[in-house]
Structure 1
Amino acid sequence: MSTILRILRFTRSLTPYYLSIMAAAAVVTAAGIAVPFITGAATDTVVDAVGSVTNGSGIPDGAIRSVVLLALALLAASLVETVASNLGGYWGDVMSERMRTILSTRYFEQLLALPQRYYDSELTGTIVARLNRSIAEITGFMKSFSNMFVTMLMTTVAVLAISAWHYWPLAVLLLLAYPAYLWLTALTSRKWQRIEREKNEHVDEASGRFAEVVGQIRVVKSFARERSELDRFSDHFGETVRLTSEQSRHWHSMDALRRGVLNLIFFALYVIIFVRTVTGHFTPGEMVMLIQLMAMARQPVQNLSWVVDTAQRAAAGSRSYFEVMDLDPAAVGGAGSLPRKAEAERGGGRRGDETDPGSPHRGGADASGASGSPGAPGSAPVVAFRDVSFGYDEHGDVLSGVSFEVWQGERIAFVGESGGGKTTLINLLLGLYAVRSGTIEVAGAGPDLASLRRSIGVVFQDPSLFSGTVAENIAYGRPEATRDEIEAVARRAAVDVFASKLPSGYDTVIGERGMKLSGGQKQRIAVARAMLKDAPILVLDEATSALDTKSERLVQAGLDDLMRHRTSLIIAHRLSTIAEVDRIITLRDGRIDEVGPPDELSRSGGIYAELLALQSSSSKADRKRLKRFEVIG
């Protein structure tokens, strides 16, 4: 019941539909209850008429008229029931679809609000499978429940009252049937739900792996892993067959017991009715009416089994659904992030406290007023890390006490061994994770994560395109952009070179993740996307590391244009552009080791100098060691 109440609270905007469906169900119940009374009256009228004819008295006056009117009454009851049940069915269909829309939209909204940390431990396919399964079970149950609940309740109350009026032991036996059936059903429920949860886990895992394999089908085929993936998928569903067998055996064994008890109770009821009719306490019409009422009373009791079954499925589904909905995005992001600062101090001014405690970022000074030289009087950095420490989950720190400042127009390179924390710095800058301690200040970041991310343009190593058109992907960061603006940045990023050759030009659908394009083409679209966004801060996350020489040359030309007059932090695989940056920051074991211009650090004997030496070396050992490094810049 708590599950039902929570779903009702969660979808309270559907209350008019719930009430309408219940009203229709009430009319259906009333029409159904009228039928035994009409049938009973018709039975008595016919029995009296047959008796008169048998005795030679002829057909009583008005007997034919009475039975015809009673037949018309049966027709009217049937028509009312037909109209009301179809109205209820219509409202139920619309209600369930609206409920699915509400639950799906809120689930998606919650997923969009959850930080990157949540997705680090969840398969995409599992998230989608959970949505489909949970919402299907919830909406299916609520539609059936709203249609059946009032009918069951009113039928039960009406039958009990009528039975008590005619002969109180009938009502007493019926009162015993309901709690006995519910008690036996409750005994079944605990084990059933436990097994259902296990089945859902297997289905979600199989669905998650299914989506992952489909998304990586080239890798699966190239490593000849089709059979092992199929076996793994089949094993999960094979386990659901085993669990279903155990679950069904338990359920139907208990159902046989429940229905056996119910049969005994109704046997007693029918015996009482037949005996009292034979002894003259009930007329034949009353006997027919009571037998029909007993049949109506039996149906709600038996429906309890189905209601409990679907309720259990809905409870299991809603548990998975609300586990996600109950997550606190700030808590999932990681406890320990400090309160944000709304605006960085400029020239000794006061810093205001930001009200969003869930983000590690702080708004800095307006970028338009920052000086181009570090430490210029009255200026503030565009990006500043202040004693930042961070780690994933419960593991040790990946970054420890990191502090640095980036000034307007600077190009900064981060150098260090793979796993040294360079990409983590970018993830923190984008607010994908909350810091454990320290603060991050970003000029013009605004009061929330959305405004922060609007001030930062990113080109990832994986372009991460969507399945729409070329134009739609370029305009993803600025959907309101005009076609002229889209095509202008496409020319700057050399997208027009291949877009003009596509079947529909910029309106060509590129397929999921841009599968119809080459790596270089996809990356050029990603550069154009960042250009159109026109954010004051640029992050290049290994934007050319996966490209061939020709594609890299085209993409790099677009990147050089993109970085012009912009504050840039770039993750790159090659050292070719390191000499062009203003400063290099080297990282060793999650801590800053050196900071300085390339010429200075090339002579310091530190990490950057070591990288230059390794690059010029021809020994296999040095080449192997070089692979351990990744470079931003």
Structure 2
Amino acid sequence: MSEDLIDEDEGPKKRVLSNSQVLGFVMRLWLRRPVLLAAAVGLMLVAIGFDLALPHAARMLVDAVTAGPANADAAWAAWALFVGVYLAFTVIRNIAFRFWNPLASRNMKELTDEAFKKVQSFSADWHADNFAGATVRKLTRAMWGYDQVSDAVVLWLGPAFLVLFGLSVMMILRWPAVGLFSLLAVTAYVATTLLMNKYYTRPANLKSVALDSRIGGALADAVSSNPTVRAFGAEAREEARIAEVSDAWRAAALKTWTRFMDVGLIQNVLLVILQAGLTGLLLRQWQAGRASPGDVAFAITSFMLMSGYLRNVGENIRMLQRGLDDVEDVANFARQAPQVRDVAGARPFAGELGEIVFDKVTFRYKSADEPIYQDFSLRIRPGERVALVGPTGAGKSTFVKLIQRLYDVQGGRILIDAQDIAHVDQGSLRRAIAVVPQDPALFHRTIAENIGYARPEATLAEIELAARRARAHEFIARLPRGYETLVGERGVKLSGGERQRVAIARAFLADAPILVLDEATSSLDVETERQVQAAMEELMVGRTTIVIAHRLSTIRSADRILVFDDGRIVEEGRHAELVGRGGAYARLHAVTQGAAE
């Protein structure tokens, strides 16, 4: 299939890879461990040699038996050979698996790890466009898809083709008509299976796989939003929504399975033709005196061997296709370059002052027609407290995203401590910027792990000190398990104020030169706000601080207030100075004062 673009049910269009492209992705994983691969494949080839010898051993046994009891010694020798050949095949194949399984398990681990790493490298836009649950489903499906593809190709289809065509060639050399019929039947079986799989079953399977991902995304969306669902008494509505998605999957899956059954029926008809033709032709050879009873046994044994492999061919081509479809998303990820990536030779960010300079920056979101910043310039001095205010969409949050380099600018440059952030390592840059968001999202881990996330090597004493400075130690100490308390998904077991203080403790522990406070007290009650505000005041000491605020009462002490409007700074100054001017800030202040009354 060509690299056409198809629409998924959710998110952006994705590029569909051909089977050969996905298989190439899997084969590159095999080649990472050439010794294990060579040992497994080499032993498998030896086992195939013994499998090919089985019909000959059966022929020798039958011919020896038909010679009568006087030929008992030869018969027993043929019996020993018959048993020995099958035993050797079984033992050597088992040994081959002992090399193949370590290769498979390591590759499956690396595929998952690397796919997760790649997904993490994608931009904020990419993650906003894709359901988290669907992405998780794609990663886990790909791991098992790799297993299906690898087993199908190396352990089943490869040996099957060697045995099938090997037996046909051996029969051509002895009975040309019989061998040619066998070769024709095998070729027809394989070609029919491949063509029907590509043009008949795969399109249906791709749709059912996409709907499977959609189920994962819809379930994750509903489960993670369970408090909202309950708040609106919308359980039945969500159940109906999930039922609609799962019903679409049911219809697509049923269509896929029916098509697989249709292909299976055709395959079984071809097997009957092979059985009738192979044994019938050998009977005619026997009738004409050109074949012994052992030769007939050879034909019967060959058919049993071939029919077993052909059934495996049908099953494993279907398994191969399902596996390729499951791996396709991750193979696609591997081909995508991160939207924001480090330049070659990017050096670690090294800075402790926190000076921020926007130098004629131009930036436009991919979904916007016009840039939000055009030749935008600004300098924030080391240790300065700067507040960003203005209406929604004015460019305040974009400012913070750009200094974190969550997006690349289209023009100009951003300097932090005289370093162009486009030329430094992203991870080291973001570790130099501590962010306390309006609604902190905590991991479903312990409180200690959540605070320590800022600095994994921190001791428990350092974590406790950060919690004390954030006014969080008291409520943590009252919990039955203290710092070992699990906070629930996104921290749902904690109140808003408790989550804020954990986030502030994390920022204390990070000890970054730049601090971003994004409406950190807007949703708190008055008493909790006082505690959080006191913690933030201590946290701001000695750091360059950027405060995004709608409640202007929280920024009176800022060294400088920047009033944004449509990506431009329309006013700047201190609180009293701006109120006295009677401009945009004064109007915002009057509105907030009126709201407070």
TM-score, normalised to structure 2's length? 0.90
Indicate the residue corresponding to 1:194 in structure 2. Answer: 203
User: Cα distance, 1:538 vs. partner?
Assistant: 0.7
- Residues 178 and 506 of structure 1, relative CA distance in 2, 3 Å threshold: same
**Aligned mate of 1:26, from 38, 45, 53:** 45
User: Cα distance, 1:518 vs. partner?
Assistant: 1.7
Q: Does 1:495 align with 2:472?
A: yes
Q: Does 1:182 align with 2:190?
A: yes
Q: What is the distance in 1 between the residues matched to 2:533 and 2:486?
A: 25
**Aligned mate of 2:177, from 146, 158, 169:** 169
Q: What is the distance in 2 between the residues matched to 1:363 and 1:33?
A: 63
**Aligned mate of 1:204, from 196, 205, 213:** 213
Counterpart contact for 2:340–2:408, Cα < 8 Å: yes
Indicate the residue corresponding to 2:13 in structure 1. Answer: none
Counterpart amino acid of 2:302?
Answer: L
Indicate the residue corresponding to 1:267 in structure 2. Answer: 276
SS at match of 1:585: strand
User: Cα distance, 1:265 vs. partner?
Assistant: 4.2
Counterpart contact for 2:152–2:317, Cα < 8 Å: no
**Aligned mate of 2:388, from 414, 422, 425:** 414
Is there any run of 5+ residues in structure 1 with no aligned partner, and where?
Answer: 50-58, 335-339, 341-353, 369-380, 618-622, 628-633
User: Cα distance, 1:585 vs. partner?
Assistant: 0.6
Q: Does 1:241 align with 2:250?
A: yes
SS at match of 2:490: helix
Indicate the residue corresponding to 1:613 in structure 2. Answer: 590
Q: Deviations over 1:301-331 (max 9, x none)?
A: 33332232122212222221122222111xx
Indicate the residue corresponding to 1:583 in structure 2. Answer: 560
Q: What is the distance in 2 between the residues matched to 1:493 and 1:255?
A: 66
Residue-pair matches, total: 573
Structure 2 counterparts to residues 40-439 of structure 1, below 5 A: 40-49=59-68, 59-60=69-70, 63-188=71-196, 189-329=198-338, 332-333=339-340, 366-368=351-353, 382-396=355-369, 397-439=371-413
Q: What is the distance in 1 between the residues matched to 2:26 and 2:411?
A: 39
Counterpart amino acid of 1:223?
Answer: F
User: Cα distance, 1:444 vs. partner?
Assistant: 6.6
- Residues 595 and 125 of structure 1, relative CA distance in 2, 3 Å threshold: same
User: Cα distance, 1:287 vs. partner?
Assistant: 1.5
User: Cα distance, 1:200 vs. partner?
Assistant: 1.6
Counterpart amino acid of 1:429?
Answer: I
Q: What is the distance in 2 between the residues matched to 1:473 and 1:252?
A: 51
Q: What is the distance in 1 between the residues matched to 2:319 and 2:102?
A: 20
Counterpart amino acid of 2:448?
Answer: A
Counterpart amino acid of 2:117?
Answer: E
User: Cα distance, 1:108 vs. partner?
Assistant: 0.9
Indicate the residue corresponding to 2:522 in structure 1. Answer: 545
Counterpart contact for 2:349–2:428, Cα < 8 Å: no
SS at match of 2:582: coil
Q: What is the distance in 2 between the residues matched to 1:292 and 1:355?
A: 62
Counterpart contact for 1:444–1:452, Cα < 8 Å: no
Deviates further, 15-24 or 128-137? 15-24
Q: What is the distance in 1 between the residues matched to 2:191 and 2:164?
A: 17
- Residues 461 and 444 of structure 1, relative CA distance in 2, 3 Å threshold: farther
Deviates further, 232-241 or 422-431? 232-241
Q: What is the distance in 2 between the residues matched to 1:122 and 1:33?
A: 50
SS at match of 2:33: helix
Counterpart amino acid of 1:549?
Answer: V
**Aligned mate of 1:509, from 474, 486, 507:** 486
Q: Does 1:37 align with 2:56?
A: yes
Q: Deviations over 1:457-504 (max 9, x none)?
A: 111112221122222211111111122222211111112111212223
SS at match of 2:553: coil
- Residues 356 and 20 of structure 1, relative CA distance in 2, 3 Å threshold: closer
User: Cα distance, 1:264 vs. partner?
Assistant: 2.7
Q: Does 1:456 align with 2:433?
A: yes
Counterpart amino acid of 2:498?
Answer: Q
User: Cα distance, 1:386 vs. partner?
Assistant: 2.0
SS at match of 1:513: coil
User: Cα distance, 1:3 vs. partner?
Assistant: 2.9
Counterpart contact for 2:157–2:313, Cα < 8 Å: no
Q: CA RMSD in A?
A: 2.5
Q: What is the distance in 2 between the residues matched to 1:177 and 1:202?
A: 37
Counterpart contact for 1:401–1:591, Cα < 8 Å: no
TM-score, normalised to structure 1's length? 0.85
Q: What is the distance in 2 between the residues matched to 1:456 and 1:250?
A: 55
Counterpart contact for 1:209–1:233, Cα < 8 Å: yes
SS at match of 2:580: coil
Counterpart contact for 1:444–1:455, Cα < 8 Å: no
Q: What is the distance in 1 between the residues matched to 2:493 and 2:252?
A: 42
User: Cα distance, 1:141 vs. partner?
Assistant: 2.2
Indicate the residue corresponding to 2:17 in structure 1. Answer: none
User: Cα distance, 1:11 vs. partner?
Assistant: 4.1
User: Cα distance, 1:218 vs. partner?
Assistant: 0.8
SS at match of 1:281: coil
User: Cα distance, 1:182 vs. partner?
Assistant: 3.0
- Residues 258 and 150 of structure 1, relative CA distance in 2, 3 Å threshold: closer
Deviates further, 39-48 or 249-258? 249-258
Counterpart contact for 1:24–1:84, Cα < 8 Å: yes
SS at match of 1:603: helix
- What percent of counterpart residues are identical? 29
